[in-house]
Structure 1
Amino acid sequence: MITASAYKGKKVGVFGLARTGVAAVQALEASGADVLAWDDVPERRAAVGAYSHDLYEADMHSLDAVMLAPGVPLNFPAPHAIVVRCREAGTPLISDFDFFEKARTDMAPHKVVAITGTNGKSTTTALIGHVVDECGLPAAIGGNIGKGILSLDLLPEGGVYVLEMSSFQLDLTQSFKADIGILLNITPDHLDRHGDLDGYVAAKQRLFEQQGPDGVAVISVDDSHGAAMATTYAGHVVPISVETAVAGGVYVLDGMLTDDMDGEAVVCADLRECAPMLLGSHNWQNAAAAYAAGRSLGFKFEDIISAFGSFPGLAHRQETVATIDGIRYVNDSKATNVDAASRALRAFENIHWIAGGRPKEKNFTALAALMGTVKHAYLIGEAADAIAHDVGGDVDVADCRDLEHAIECARANAVEGDVILLSPACTAFDQFRDFENRGDVFRSLVLARTGERS
């Protein structure tokens, strides 16, 4: 657990008692703070016992700060009532990352790597954690992936905290300073929370605005927003790209990773040969970011590339579940938007594509140009008609209603060398609890088939 002596004797409110909030209550209590915790859900309030106190009725002037859960809106679609009360009283609003920043002065010397972006955050976070571990330093992975930041174990001297950060977390954070900040990409997402795309971009940019003068900013320049940020923070940027050579940075063209961080372009590896779990240009972007982080931490390029080769990948992110009768089954349930699905469609050939669910976006027209690698599309859920309308002129489609039927239809059509790919381009909430549940069901259905074959 992370504790901060700066909060000893302070009176701090915590609003929102899911994973982040409960960890915050425990960390504040262990730090010697007087904690008042609240959630609109009674069951969550019960989890914090005696610390439960109605913040709607509390005297906000008496609080030194209120820590908000990431899901609590600051401005859009409207400021939450607790946010309004804090602003009226002049009570500081903080995040668990701000608490972590205060705690750093009590911790053994360490480094912090923070990763954000619309897509690829979790894979890159896990990959960097794996690289740190393989290169011989202690690592702790958390934030928006796995453990909440305040639930992480303290690392010994030389340790590296590798933290995934969502736009919601960045929106709340006031003082967190990453030693190495990484931006992978920006495409429209969570616009209801940020008001518009400019608001979403501004949240991502906070990662670099808060960095100290010695911080390193690893920024993909393959979209206009990242390119603009790289210009803004030109003094300490390592640009990365999978589209063009970038001076002073790291780039991957046709799978070949090139290191130009020292001003002399050196081809380090063919990722197609040495990194089996990092297929496709989107994973090459993740690898470029992880490589730049590793080099900034002082690791040798040979050790970083070796670590890439043993990276096991993450569940639900282009996860190969099985190969049956020469047909590869890939679980990419995490692809909950068009951009994420497009990355998977570029990574494979001879695809039987299972897509659909509850749509995040207004249309799927951007995927039509990628149907050249798709043999057949099997559509499920609320978005089936919309996807059929937008890509049906470029590929044969079937409305399969649900995932089990889609898998059976794909099995009937696929032949040796084909890929059955679940990459929905939609959320799972119409038929499943979340994308993990959807991916787990896909895996179970596929593995049941291996039992039949046995």
Structure 2
Amino acid sequence: MITASAYKGKDVGVFGLARTGLAAVEALKASGAHVHAWDDNVDRQKAAVPHADDLYALDFKTLDALMLAPGVPLTHPEPHTLVKKAQGAGVPTISDFDVFEAARAELPAHKTVAVTGTNGKSTTTALIGHMVAACGRPAAIGGNIGTGILSLDALPEDGVYVFEMSSFQIDLTRSFTADIAILLNITPDHLDRHGDMAGYVAAKRKLFDMQRPGAAAIIGVDDAYGAAIAAELGDRAVPVSVMKTAPSGIYVTEDGMLIDDRDGTATAVGSIAGLTVLRGRHNWQNAAVAYGAGRLLGFAPEAILAAFESFPGLAHRQEVIATIDGVRYVNDSKATNVDAAERALGSFRSILWIAGGRPKDKSFDALAAHMGNVKRAYLIGEAADAIASGINGHVDYIDCHDLAHALELARADAADGDTVLLSPACPAFDQFRDFEHRGATFRALVEGLMKGADA
């Protein structure tokens, strides 16, 4: 684990004891801190024994810092009760990234890469970590991708830590300095947490504000928000586009050729159109920013492209589960908003589309533009009516209520060459614990079809 001697003898409250919080408790304890851990969930309280301590009852004048889990609201829709209590007592609120930053001077020489954006963060984080390892340097990935960063083992000399950072995590962090900071894209998301779009954009922008002067910034400029941030950062920004040329940056042509124009020469690096795991323009963007990070880390272009070829992909992100009787089954359960579903719908043809869950976006009208790729939609969950309203008149659809029924009907309708695509455009919380549970359920159902086909 990562420890920070700066916290030795300090009293630190830790609120929120899921993976990030429990990793922080162990790391702070190992650092010599006095830890006061709490969660509103009783089972999680038990997991923190003997460090469990009711923070609501604790005198905060004894605390040096309060670490918050990413899901704890700092400002909107209103500050959490314990945030107000910390503010009243003058106690700084921090994240696990602040503890990591305090530990960096004690770690072997290393680099940090931080990836944020509305969509594609996990794939890009995993891709960069894979690339670093494939190019022969020690690598570790963590953060929002699912591993608390303080639970990582310290890397040997010349290692690269690759972190996925959500807007929630950036919002809570005070001092983390990424050597290479990456912004993929910004579309409306989590506005309840950040107040409005300006607050959401400001949270993303903060990643660059925390960097040291001159530190590298790689920024997707295919949306107006990213383009504005790149312009504000000036020469230290490397613009990346998959929609147009990006002077002094990196871009991908319409036919999938990766172009490096950082020095003004517009050098053709190689084609990424045939990368089956990195299918679609959104994945070309992921590859382009990963290429930029690889070059800044000193890797040769051919080594980077070879790493892309061997990248296995991530579960629940356009994950091909199986091909049965010529029909491909794809698990894109991580597509929890309209923008992510649009990306998947643009990556395949002849789609039998399973969508729905608990609605997060106010409108699903933007999905209508992609119905030319869809043969029929199979709608599930609380969002079924809202999605139907958005695509009505553009494609045939059936209200299936649940995932098993949707897959059953899609299987019956599918023909050789079709793709059955689970890309819900919604969070899973109406019928599943999370997107991973939903994706795992889909995988199990498809595996059941495979067994039936074998029989």
Q: TM-score, normalised by structure 2?
A: 0.98
* Kept after mapping to 1: 8 A contact 2:95/2:173: yes
d(CA) in 2 for partners of 1:401, 1:49: 42
d(CA) in 2 for partners of 1:288, 1:109: 26
Secondary structure (helix, strand or coil) at the match of 2:439 reads helix
Letter in 2 for 1:447: E
Letter in 2 for 1:63: L
Question: Percent identity at matched positions?
Answer: 65
- The answer to which of 305-314 and 413-422 deviates more is 413-422
- The answer to which of 369-378 and 57-66 deviates more is 57-66
> Unpaired runs of 5+ in structure 2?
none
Name the structure 1 match of 2:442: 442
Letter in 2 for 1:60: F
d(CA) in 2 for partners of 1:41, 1:389: 38
Secondary structure (helix, strand or coil) at the match of 1:347 reads coil
d(CA) in 1 for partners of 2:17, 2:405: 38
Letter in 1 for 2:122: S
* 1:237-256 correspondence to structure 2 within 5 Å: 237-254=237-254, 255-256=256-257
d(CA) in 2 for partners of 1:250, 1:31: 42
* Post-superposition offset of 1:57: 2.2
* Kept after mapping to 1: 8 A contact 2:356/2:380: yes
Name the structure 2 match of 1:49: 49
Name the structure 2 match of 1:266: 267
Name the structure 1 match of 2:371: 371
d(CA) in 2 for partners of 1:82, 1:387: 38
d(CA) in 1 for partners of 2:10, 2:441: 46
Name the structure 1 match of 2:94: 94
* Kept after mapping to 1: 8 A contact 2:98/2:175: yes
d(CA) in 1 for partners of 2:386, 2:50: 50
Name the structure 1 match of 2:199: 199
Q: Tell me the C-alpha RMSD between the 2 structures.
A: 1.0
CA offsets 1:31-75 (integer angstroms, 9 cap, x no match) = 111112222222212212122222222222222111111111111
Secondary structure (helix, strand or coil) at the match of 2:258 reads strand
Secondary structure (helix, strand or coil) at the match of 1:234 reads helix
- The answer to which of 40-49 and 224-233 deviates more is 40-49
Letter in 1 for 2:257: M
Letter in 1 for 2:369: A
- The answer to which of 66-75 and 300-309 deviates more is 66-75
d(CA) in 2 for partners of 1:350, 1:40: 46
* Post-superposition offset of 1:262: 2.2
Secondary structure (helix, strand or coil) at the match of 1:61 reads helix
Name the structure 1 match of 2:140: 140
Q: Does 1:285 align with 2:314?
A: no
Name the structure 2 match of 1:339: 339
* Kept after mapping to 1: 8 A contact 2:220/2:226: yes
> Unpaired runs of 5+ in structure 1?
none
d(CA) in 2 for partners of 1:118, 1:43: 31
Structure 1 residue ranges (4+ consecutive) displaced by more than 6 angstroms after TM superposition: none
Q: Does 1:65 align with 2:78?
A: no
Name the structure 2 match of 1:28: 28
Letter in 1 for 2:371: M
CA offsets 1:213-261 (integer angstroms, 9 cap, x no match) = 1411000000011011001111311110110110111111221111112
d(CA) in 2 for partners of 1:41, 1:421: 35
* Kept after mapping to 2: 8 A contact 1:113/1:162: yes
Q: Does 1:409 align with 2:444?
A: no
- The answer to which of 62-71 and 92-101 deviates more is 62-71
Name the structure 1 match of 2:210: 210
Name the structure 1 match of 2:362: 362
Secondary structure (helix, strand or coil) at the match of 1:400 reads strand
Name the structure 2 match of 1:111: 111
- The answer to which of 230-239 and 97-106 deviates more is 230-239
* Kept after mapping to 1: 8 A contact 2:377/2:395: yes
- The answer to which of 116-125 and 80-89 deviates more is 80-89
* Kept after mapping to 2: 8 A contact 1:114/1:165: yes
Q: Does 1:257 align with 2:258?
A: yes
Secondary structure (helix, strand or coil) at the match of 2:358 reads coil
* Kept after mapping to 1: 8 A contact 2:12/2:66: yes
d(CA) in 2 for partners of 1:253, 1:420: 29
CA offsets 1:136-182 (integer angstroms, 9 cap, x no match) = 00100101113101000100000000000011100000000000000
d(CA) in 2 for partners of 1:50, 1:316: 36
* Kept after mapping to 1: 8 A contact 2:368/2:391: yes
Letter in 2 for 1:383: A
- The answer to which of 341-350 and 84-93 deviates more is 84-93
Q: How many residues of Structure 1 are paired with residues of Structure 2 in the alignment?
A: 453
d(CA) in 2 for partners of 1:114, 1:253: 26
* Post-superposition offset of 1:333: 0.7
d(CA) in 2 for partners of 1:160, 1:4: 18
CA offsets 1:196-228 (integer angstroms, 9 cap, x no match) = 111111111110000001411000000011011
Name the structure 2 match of 1:152: 152
* Kept after mapping to 2: 8 A contact 1:179/1:214: no
* Kept after mapping to 1: 8 A contact 2:221/2:241: yes
* Kept after mapping to 1: 8 A contact 2:24/2:148: no
* 1:392-407 correspondence to structure 2 within 5 Å: 392-407=392-407
Q: TM-score, normalised by structure 1?
A: 0.98
CA offsets 1:18-42 (integer angstroms, 9 cap, x no match) = 1111111111111111112222222
Letter in 2 for 1:399: D
Letter in 2 for 1:277: V
* Post-superposition offset of 1:9: 1.4
